[in-house]
Structure 1
């Protein structure tokens, strides 16, 4: 075969196979299979299955349903009940107002276990038995002190007034029972804009027993702390001196109100100390109804 004939054969081979492919196989595919798919299966899908879905399933979805309970506007509920707008208090939309409403941060005691021994100030403090000296008991056996950090500070025995050579059978052995806890104001439902701009009043109350064990049987120390829980913004301390004479069956109240304390307050550190005496038995100074609450001004 000459060179021209070989070239012509390739052309015939190429033109023949490709032409058959385009006009035969591909055409069959486009006009046969694809046409069947478009006009057959797809048409059945659109006119059959999809139509059934739209007229059947979707139609069933559009059937009347019971009306859902309207969503509660918690921010509006807080503003209405606490009159926040009337008091000029900022209420950012970013806050979880349902959570804030549930915590009810105003007028509620924010301390944990505020009355560990279940004592009431309307009833005189319990008096020790005259038959036997009161024993020393661990605090966890006396009441529920959960939430409090409890420590004991022993006071050195004062022997300066005892003459040399004198034997003393019993020396008064004093100690401080120290209880403290820290209140996270934001965790209790208060928010930064409220604390920094409006600065609601912070009330402190505490009741202690007039035990007559010593002139000083009670101390109260309150600190308003910043975000770092170290920086003190405002503080209050009270260490009263009590009379050693008179009736011991009384409760004494100590109170304080923080006002206009400045921005940045995030925590309240609450600490009180009660003096105990160990001499022929263990004698305690009791504390009850410790209270910290935040109040909006009228």
Structure 2
């Protein structure tokens, strides 16, 4: 089975495979990183910027019987800020059934992130959510906290969604 189910988690392919659900202010951009921690990242603007992928699990090679056994689903995401501006980070991940109805959701409170925050990882593992999993919706983003024109908001990269292999 595949490793990371999210496609283009670093922006190497521009915004392919991502739906820009909110593209406010100066809109999303992709920047290379000046250090060796990541190759590139998506950056947000002074108004809300959110992007989403919906993973179709049956197309990824998982069978319905295995998905109905409620395997562990682990979500990881990385965020940071610039040296001169803070921001607000948002993440919503939902497990969906065949009708795209929500089975379980991980949606932490918005995170106020001060300037100069190094890359920080968010991790969550879904367990015990019951049968019916067929899709996973992953949406994240944010904005800056000073309303500065340009790309001063939250940076995101290296997002991943993985499903535990069959025992």
Indicate the TM-score class for this superposition, using the shorter chain for normalisation.
Answer: 0.7 to 0.9
Match among 113, 136, 140 for residue 8 of structure 2 = 113
Tell me the residue number matched to 2:105.
Answer: 235
Cα distance change of structure 1 residues 193 and 210 upon mapping to structure 2, 3 Å threshold: same
In structure 1, what is the Cα distance between the partners aligned to 2:78 and 2:151? 21
Q: How far apart, in 2, do the equivalents of 1:243 and 1:226 lie?
A: 33
- TM-score, normalization: structure 2? 0.76
Q: Structure 1 stretches (4+) deviating beyond 6 angstroms?
A: none
> What is the aligned residue count?
145
Higher strand fraction (1 or 2): 2
Structure 1, residues 56-111: CA drift from partner, whole Å, max 9, x if none?
A: xxxxxxxxxxxxxxxxxxxxxxxxxxxxxxxxxxxxxxxxxxxxxxxx23xx0001
Secondary structure at the residue paired with 1:187? helix
1:213 to partner: Cα distance: 3.4
CA distance in 2 between counterparts of 1:241 and 1:284 reads 12
Q: In the superposition, relative to structure 1, how do residues 288 and 261 fare at CA in structure 2: closer, same or farther (>3 Å)?
A: same
Q: Which runs of 5+ in 1 are unaligned?
A: 1-103, 118-142, 155-172
Whose helix fraction is larger, Structure 1's or Structure 2's?
Answer: 1
CA shift in 2, pair 1:287/1:270, >3 Å: same
Which position in structure 2 is the counterpart of 1:254? Answer: 122
2:90 is paired with a residue whose SS is strand
User: What CA distance in whole angstroms lies between the structure 2 residues aligned with 1:109 and 1:222?
Assistant: 15
Matched position secondary structure for 2:123: strand
Structure 2, unaligned runs of 5 or more: 26-44
CA distance in 2, matches of 1:260, 1:243: 31
Deviation string, structure 1 residues 236-284 (Cα, Å, up to 9, x no partner): 102343463xx61511111100111111110000000221465365423
Distance 2:81 2:151 in 1: 16
Normalising by structure 1, report the TM-score.
0.44
Counterpart CA distance in 1 for 2:77 and 2:152 is 20
Secondary structure class of the residue paired with 1:175: coil
Change (3 A) 1:283 1:200: same
Partner of 2:36: none
Q: Cα RMSD over matched residues?
A: 2.4
Question: Which one of the candidate residues 70, 74, 78 is aligned to 1:207?
Answer: 78
| Of 133, 139, 151, the match for 1:271 | 139
Change over 3 Å in CA distance of 1:267–1:179 after alignment to 2:
same
Higher RCO, Cα 8 Å, sep 6+: 2
